[in-house]
A and B are shown apart, each in its own frame.
Chain A
Amino acid sequence: MTRTLWADRAATAVLWAIAVFVVAILIAIIGHFVLASIGTLSLDFVTQDPSDVAIGGVGPVLFNSVYVLVLTLVMTVPLGILGGIYMAEYAREGRATTIIRFCQELISSVPSIVVGMFGLALFVSATHWGYTALGGSLALLVFNLPLMARLTEQAIRAVPEDERHGSLALGATKWHTIRHVVLPIAIPGMVTGVILTAGRIFGEAAALIFTSGLSTPTSYNYANLNLLDPRSPWSPLHPATTLSVFIWKSNAEGLGLFVRQVADSSSALLVIMVLVFNLSARGLGRLLQRRVTGA
């Protein structure tokens, strides 16, 4: 009897130790980047151009990250939400639904480097665009669209059936019910989904190396608003090295003094952004939940 009690104690201790260990690793990682970026990470670092002879900054790279993120979301969110609505509200079990589901699963398990190769073949070579922000965003669309659709589907399925019945019983059409009853209730879940997807897009690099390019951007002319001019940073056709790709590039260029500092601070910046995305996903989700259920 005492042996089983001791085994129980030991197992509990081991499980606690594992949990403490894992959380400690996370704290160590974050602490490492906080320490490594002290003195470098500043407003100047976030706004200035990269430089070979000084620490410089990541201004244009960060701009590209945000640009690619927004461009991807603009395409992913409406398509993903529509697709999710179909899968949750209209789809009947049948061959078509099975095929769509299988494709969703398949594409979210394809390695992102393979998606990058696909993007290279289709959006860089076949279209003769070269490396562009648009090509990168389309590659990101490929594997984030199924994710967005699935998150929307889950959020919509979580809406109680009674809400739909109430609306339909009042004579509302199916679409009217979806638009004015189901979607408002599902919005908190969908917003959380969008923000988490955004975090993923922000950190993605493997799919972007071959699609949006590796060149170090400098001296962007933000006054150039000609969207068809590849030299304009606002154009979807400009080559757009993002922050994650920039960090990866640092490793290929050898560990010079500045390279190390810059990449450390860029990593810290990325981690901070991801933390912000995460926190805002939680906070906003909760806030919207309260507003929807309170109203």
Chain B
Amino acid sequence: MTTPTLPIARSRLRRSLGFTERLDVPRRLSLAAAAFVVLMVGLLLSFITWNGVQLFAHSGVPLSEIFSGTWHPDPSTQSAAIFGLLPFILGTLFVMVIAALISMPLSVGLALFMAEVAPRWARSITQPAMEVFVGIPSVVYGWLGLTVLVPFLRTNLHDLGFTVGFSLLAGALVLSLMILPTITSVALDAFVTVPGEMRGASLALGTTRWQTIRHVVLPAARSGVITAVVLGMMRAAGEALAVQMVIGNRPVIPTSLAQPMTTLTSQITLDMGNTVNGEAWNEALWTMGLILLLISLGFVVLVRRLSRPAKVKP
């Protein structure tokens, strides 16, 4: 079989590229803009890491000391400084997990409502409501927690141990509200991408809507919902100001929901301005920043792993 030949050689049809076209300025320029983010990540990682290890490299604090539960950054005549970061790490983990536990039923429920139940008019309320929720700045949530939630806990739940109001629960509640739109929108995406045929097939078998949701929609959207919750937890772990305003800022390992405690972000927020560059206390704050960075790096990898495999499951 012979290929039909063109009457004119193909090379003569195509005009040879001019200098500017070969240079292709737009391509190079836009590549530079896109690659700029790599430069920023490189700078950020190296600055935070460099400053974060100074506590060990410069001040000679042994690595094991940061896993101690004692935070005593200001050396006095009686005692040496101790840089135990465990209260902050555990505080961040506790507040993150509890906020996710509170927020999960509400946000996943809301996403289910929007995807499966809501009539058009209801969706036209919840959709913009979510956008406004996302838009409310974190300081506003913090201020609300400080002036409404904390006094409420102090006066109404005083007998349950909320003597000051500032507490693990206050932080978790404020955070649960802040991560609600994050979880809702990602979970909603997961529910909406479940093919309509699957619902139809299930309903055609005579199931109720709830049975279809429970046995078809939820299993099919499972990895998306997990991703949503993980993204919510990521946001909770990194949130600084709102938490700092309601958590009480006490460097102890919390034993009850009513206890004032602290987190990595809160301590950085509070102490960064009061410490001097180069002293061990300041270096410990950078170490906390490095730990936060590692936590978010871990989350990114986790989310990538969660979202990679195709969620085809009968």
Interface residues of A (CB under 8 A from B): 4-5, 7-8, 10-12, 14-16, 18-19, 21-23, 25-26, 29-30, 32-33, 79-80, 82-87, 89-91, 96, 99-100, 102-107, 109-115, 117-118, 120-122, 125, 142, 145-146, 149, 173-175, 178, 199-200, 202-206, 209-210, 214, 244-245, 247-248, 250-251, 255, 260, 263-264, 267, 270-271, 274-275, 277-278, 282
Beyond A22-B106, A23-B126, whether A113 also contacts B265 by CB under 8 A is yes
Produce 1/0 per residue, B133-148, CB < 8 A to A.
1011111101110111
| Cross-chain contact B30 with A83 (CB below 8 angstroms) | yes
| Cross-chain contact A274 with B136 (CB below 8 angstroms) | yes
Nearest-neighbor residue (CB-CB) of B291 within chain A: A114
B273-314: which have CB < 8 Å to A? Answer: 273, 277, 285-286, 289, 292-293, 296-297, 299-300, 303-304
Q: Please provide the 4 A-B residue pairs with the shortest distance between their CB atoms, ordered closest to farther.
A: A203-B137, A111-B238, A82-B33, A86-B30
Known: A19-B114, A85-B30. 12 other contacts (CB 8 A): A18-B109, A19-B122, A83-B34, A110-B44, A114-B238, A121-B51, A145-B37, A203-B135, A209-B272, A210-B272, A247-B140, A251-B142
Name the A residues within 8 Å of B289 (CB-CB).
113-114, 117
| Cross-chain contact A86 with B277 (CB below 8 angstroms) | no
| Cross-chain contact B140 with A103 (CB below 8 angstroms) | no
| Cross-chain contact A19 with B126 (CB below 8 angstroms) | yes
Q: DSSP class of A's interface residues: helix, strand, loop or mixed?
A: helix
Q: A261 → chain B, closest Cβ, in Å?
A: 11
Q: DSSP class of B's interface residues: helix, strand, loop or mixed?
A: helix
Name the B residues within 8 Å of A146 (CB-CB).
37
Total chain B interface residues with beta-carbon distance under 8 A:
83
User: Is B245 interfacial (CB-CB < 8 Å)?
Assistant: yes
Name the B residues within 8 Å of A4 (CB-CB).
207-208, 210-211
User: Is B118 interfacial (CB-CB < 8 Å)?
Assistant: yes
Name the B residues within 8 Å of A175 (CB-CB).
24, 26-27
| Cross-chain contact A86 with B27 (CB below 8 angstroms) | yes
How many residue pairs link A and B with beta carbons under 8 A? The number is 244
Docked complex Cα distance between A30 and B208 (Å): 37
| Residue among B116, B180, B238, B297 with most chain A CB within 10 A | B238
| Cross-chain contact B27 with A111 (CB below 8 angstroms) | no
Docked complex Cα distance between A206 and B272 (Å): 12
User: Is B237 interfacial (CB-CB < 8 Å)?
Assistant: yes
Interface residues of B (CB under 8 A from A): 21, 24, 26-27, 29-38, 40-41, 43-44, 47-48, 51, 105-106, 109-110, 112-114, 116-118, 122, 125-126, 128-129, 131-133, 135-140, 142-144, 146-148, 177, 180, 207-211, 213, 234, 237-241, 245, 265, 268-269, 272-273, 277, 285-286, 289, 292-293, 296-297, 299-300, 303-304
Name the B residues within 8 Å of A33 (CB-CB).
140
| Cross-chain contact A113 with B286 (CB below 8 angstroms) | no
| Cross-chain contact A16 with B113 (CB below 8 angstroms) | yes
| Cross-chain contact A117 with B117 (CB below 8 angstroms) | no
Beyond A109-B234, A117-B272, whether A248 also contacts B293 by CB under 8 A is no
| Cross-chain contact A12 with B209 (CB below 8 angstroms) | yes
| Cross-chain contact B140 with A271 (CB below 8 angstroms) | yes
| Cross-chain contact B304 with A205 (CB below 8 angstroms) | no
Name the B residues within 8 Å of A96 (CB-CB).
35
| Cross-chain contact A12 with B117 (CB below 8 angstroms) | yes
Docked complex Cα distance between A280 and B94 (Å): 39
Name the B residues within 8 Å of A142 (CB-CB).
40, 44
